A = this chain, B = another copy of it.
Amino acid sequence: MKVIAREDRGLPARIAGDIGRRITLGELKAGETLPREADMLATLGVSRTTLREALKILSTKGFIEAKPRLGTRVRAAEHWNTLDPVVLSWQGDAEDQDALAEELFEIRLSIEPLAARLAARRGSAADHAAIRAAFVRMSQAQAGLEEAIEADIDFHLQILQAAHNRFLLPISSVVRAALSISIPKTMAASGGFGPSLAQHEAILTAIERRDGEAALAAATTLIASTYKRNFG
C-alpha cells in the first residue's frame, strides 16, 4: 500500500508517522500520556519546532490531545480521522488486516453504487469519456499486469469524480486502499479479471446512457460479487 509518498516528506511528517503507527499498532494505548515535550526532544533528537509540528499533525488527525499540566494523551480510536489517506497507510501496518479489508468493502458497497448513479445523472461528457478510457486501458492490458490493476482502480476513482459531490472525493483513498488489497487477490483466484470485466462494462454503459438506476444496480452487483469472492 505504498500509495502515499508525497505526504511522508519532511521530518515532522516522518516523526508523526512513527508515533502514529505505534498508536495504531496498540503499542501506545488510548488514555496513555506520552512523555513530556522535553523528554521526547532528548529521545528523538530533533528540535522543538519539529516535534511540535509532528504532534500538531497527530492532533489534527484526532490521535492525540495536548493539555497544559496534564500532558499529551492518546485519544481513543473513535476520534481518529480514519478516512485520511495518511492514517489509512498507518493502519496498513496493523494486524487485523482482514477486518480492515471487510470494513473497507462495507464502505465501498454503500458509496460506489450511489456514486455511479450520480455519475450517470450529472457527469459531463468529458467525465464519461474518462471512465471509458480507464475501462479500455483495463480491458486491453494483459491480465496480471500492474497496469491493469491501476486501470481498474482508476475506473472506480473516475466514477467518484464524475459524481460531482465534494464529500465523495476524500473517500477515494478508501476505495483505492480496498482495491489495492482485493484486486490482486481476485486475480490470483480466477487468473484474470474473469466476469468482473463484463460487470465493469455494464456500469460503464449504464452511465453513458445516463440510466442512473441501472448504473446503481450494476455497481451493486459488481461490488457484492467481489465482496463474496473475498469474504464468502
Report if A49 contacts B (CB, 8 A).
yes
* Residues on B with beta carbons closer than 8 Å to the beta carbon of A171: 83
Q: Which of A51-95 contact B (CB under 8 A)?
A: 52-53, 56-57, 60-61, 77-78, 80-84, 86
Complex partner residue of A170 from B83, B115, B165, B166, CB under 8 angstroms: B83
Stretch from A105-113, A144-152, A185-193 contacting the other chain: A105-113
Q: Taking the full assembly, how many copies of this chain does it contain? A: 2
The interface residues of chain A, by DSSP majority, are classed as helix
Asked if B103 contacts A114 (CB within 8 A), the reply is: no
Report if A231 contacts B (CB, 8 A).
no
* Residues on B with beta carbons closer than 8 Å to the beta carbon of A113: 110
Give the CA-CA distance A156 to B85 in the complex, in Å: 26
Interface residues on A, range: 35 or more
Could you list some 23 contacts between A and B, CB below 8 A? A48-B49, A49-B49, A53-B56, A57-B60, A60-B84, A60-B86, A77-B166, A78-B166, A78-B169, A81-B81, A81-B170, A82-B166, A82-B167, A83-B83, A83-B167, A83-B171, A84-B84, A103-B165, A106-B114, A107-B168, A110-B111, A110-B114, A111-B111
Known: A83-B171, A84-B84. 15 other contacts (CB 8 A): A12-B56, A48-B49, A49-B52, A52-B53, A57-B60, A78-B161, A81-B170, A82-B170, A106-B165, A107-B165, A110-B110, A110-B111, A110-B113, A110-B114, A167-B174
Which residues of chain A have a CB within 8 Å of any CB of chain B?
12, 48-49, 52-53, 56-57, 60-61, 77-78, 80-84, 86, 103-104, 106-107, 109-111, 113-115, 118, 161, 165-171, 174
